[in-house]
Amino acid sequence: MRFDELKTPAYVIDEKMLIHNLEILHKVEEDTGCHILLAQKAFSAYAEYPLIGKYISGTTASGIYEARLGAECMGKENHVFAPAFTDEDMDELVNICDHVVFNSVSQLKKHKARCIEAGVSFGLRVNPEFSTQGDHAIYDPCAPGSRLGVTLKNLKAALEEEPDVLSGMEGIHFHTLCEQNSDDLEATLKAVEEKFGFLMKDMKWVNFGGGHHITREDYDIETLEKCISHVKKKYDVQVYVEPGEAVALNAGYLVTTVLDKVENGITTLILDASAACHMPDVLEMPYTPPLRGGLKISDMEDEYGIDKDIEIDFDMDVKEGIWKPAKNGRYRYRLSSYTCLAGDIIGDYQFGREINVGDRLVFEDMAIYSMVKNNTFNGIQLPDIVIMDSDGECKVWKHFGYEDFKGRL
């Protein structure tokens, strides 16, 4: 099936782009000898795990089922981190994971005997208390009061009380970035070394967490590789990097159809897709997703320095994807959904042509944090999951129906 023939709504995974990203990640492994793991919480489309496993070292999980999926469907290195593990989860995790990262000294104490017994390498997540994220407090594990990672103060107190409390521990983990470049990693690493360097000498591995936007066009890979090589050499450890986003960045689309047009001062297009149900990060983060052939009104100001209330005299040429002087005036629409939630608004966009009922619209960069976070609020259907191979041939991998809605309730 071709892209234009797909039934909507559908998430389409673009294998060509996925491979492009994986080649970049594979080269970082080759250049530095580090191990890169897919953070499954961003992208768990296990249909692609065999492909991903050809390029990188394995998977990491944020919970028990992700851990199981990584073991079952990729079967390479399998790590897990969670703020806490139940005894029941730990029973299974030590059988399917080779690395476990604890969030606190108390969790480490509680579960470490079982890790040692099962021959599982365990480590501790630290909090360098070094924020590099400006706006997104919800994604900042270094924000004041954060529950994520052990602070130096807490670690020292635990060591004072029980000097060999960390015995048997083999790794240090930090995760503080989100969609960031390697200058922020470099600065963070300095803070981690200053505070926790005394531990790193005795470790077998250091995990740099996720949030590295390695496959983004302007990402400085040289600095990343410098950071990895520095830690490997100075502390004689293996280095892990566990990106989620970077693996499937720009490697997927959400294809939708315009169902209706509502006029009320502005023109709203009602789509068979929903921000609340199918792309929750649009509301949660929040952000406006890129749209093929459409310009985000918010970008006019942020990226092009044009006041968004001013009439502009150019439009996006849909066919060529470039700016052209506007011929037929401007077409501005609010893109929204067929749920009942008033705030289920995807964003305001401008087009180079009129958009009509029945037209298809394609949201870009929809592989990550989409399929893993969607829901059936309002009883609307979940988008199909479609795989598009390097020749553009599309295959429906999963179709969801009423039973998927009913089955969870």
Ligand X SMILES: *Cc1c(COP(=O)(O)O)cnc(C)c1O
- Give whichever of 240 and 253 is closer to ligand X, judged by the CB atom: 240
The residue within the footprint of ligand X, chosen from 209, 290, 347, 352 (CB under 6 A), is: 209
* SS3 letters across 152-194: HHHHHHHHHHCCCCCCCCCEEECCCCCCECHHHHHHHHHHHHH
8 Å CB contact between 8 and 382: no
Q: What per-residue string of b and e applies to 379-400 under the rule 16 or more CB within 10 Å gives b?
A: ebbbbbbbbbeeeeebeeebee
8 Å CB contact between 392 and 401: no
- Give whichever of 173 and 195 is closer to ligand X, judged by the CB atom: 173
- Is 245 annotated in some ligand binding site? yes
- Give whichever of 210 and 347 is closer to ligand X, judged by the CB atom: 210
- Give whichever of 112 and 175 is closer to ligand X, judged by the CB atom: 175
The residue within the footprint of ligand X, chosen from 112, 175, 195, 296 (CB under 6 A), is: 175
- Distance of closest approach, residue 397 Cβ to ligand X, in angstroms: 22
Q: Does 58 bind ligand X (CB under 6 A)?
A: no
Which pair of tokens denotes residue 160?
A: 């004072």
Q: What per-residue string of b and e applies to 262-275 under the rule 16 or more CB within 10 Å gives b?
A: eeeeeebbbbbbbb
Write down the H helix ranges in 249-325: 275-278, 281-284, 297-302
- Distance of closest approach, residue 40 Cβ to ligand X, in angstroms: 9
Q: Does 178 bind ligand X (CB under 6 A)?
A: yes
- Give whichever of 53 and 209 is closer to ligand X, judged by the CB atom: 209
Q: Does 205 bind ligand X (CB under 6 A)?
A: no
The one segment of 208-216, 344-352, 353-361, 376-384 that binds ligand X by CB under 6 A = 208-216
- Distance of closest approach, residue 42 Cβ to ligand X, in angstroms: 4
Q: Does 42 bind ligand X (CB under 6 A)?
A: yes
Q: Does 128 bind ligand X (CB under 6 A)?
A: no
Q: With CB under 6 A as the rule, give the number of residues binding ligand X.
A: 14
* Subset of residues 77 to 96 that bind ligand X, contact rule: CB under 6 A: 81
What is the CA angle 30-34-37, rounded to 5?
105
Q: Does 211 bind ligand X (CB under 6 A)?
A: yes
Which pair of tokens denotes residue 239?
A: 């280095």
Q: Does 244 bind ligand X (CB under 6 A)?
A: yes
Q: Which helix (H) or strand (E) holds 205?
A: strand 205-207
Alpha-carbon torsion (249, 252, 253, 254), positive or negative: negative
- Give whichever of 208 and 253 is closer to ligand X, judged by the CB atom: 208
Torsion of CA 180, 277, 341, 331, to 10 degrees: 70
- Distance of closest approach, residue 104 Cβ to ligand X, in angstroms: 14
- Distance of closest approach, residue 371 Cβ to ligand X, in angstroms: 14
- Give whichever of 210 and 352 is closer to ligand X, judged by the CB atom: 210
Question: Which residues, 6 or more positions from 70, have their beta carbon under 8 angstroms from its beta carbon?
Answer: 38, 40, 49, 58, 59, 60, 61, 78, 96
Length of the chain: 409
The one segment of 14-22, 36-44, 252-260, 389-397 that binds ligand X by CB under 6 A = 36-44
Task: Please enumerate, by residue number, every residue annotated as part of a binding site.
Answer: 245, 281
**Residue ranges that bind ligand X, judged by CB under 6 A:** 39, 41-42, 81, 175, 178, 209-211, 242-246
